[in-house]
Amino acid sequence: MTILVVEDEIKITRFIKKGLEMEHYTVDTAYDGEEALDKIEINDYDLIILDIMLPKINGIEVCAKVREKKIEAPIIMLTAKDTVDDRIKGLDAGADDYLVKPFAFGELLARIRALLRREKTTKATKLKVGDLVLDPATHEVFRGDKEIELSSKEYRLLDYMMRRPGNVCTRTMIGEHIWGYNFNDDSNVIDVYISYLRKKIDTGFNKKLIHTIRDVGYKIQYKSRPINR
List the domain boundaries for the chain: 2-120, 127-220
Query: Is residue 11 helix, strand or coil?
Result: helix
Cβ atoms within 10 Å of 103's Cβ, excluding its own = 13
The closest of 95, 100, 66, 96 to 82, measured between CA atoms, is 100
pTM higher than 0.75: no
On whether the 2-120 domain is CATH 3.40.50.2300, my answer is yes
List pLDDT tens digits, range 102-130.
Answer: 889 999 999 999 888 876 644 557 899 99
Looking at this protein, which amino acid is placed at residue 217? G
229 pLDDT exceeds 50? no
Contact predicate 96/115, CB 8 Å = yes
List pLDDT tens digits, range 148-187.
Answer: 999 888 988 998 899 889 999 988 888 877 776 556 666 7
Cβ atoms within 10 Å of 225's Cβ, excluding its own = 6
Q: Which residues pair with 28 in a beta bridge?
A: 4
Pick the CATH number of 127-220 from 3.50.50.60, 3.30.420.40, 1.10.10.10, 3.40.1360.10: 1.10.10.10
d(CA 140, CA 131): 14
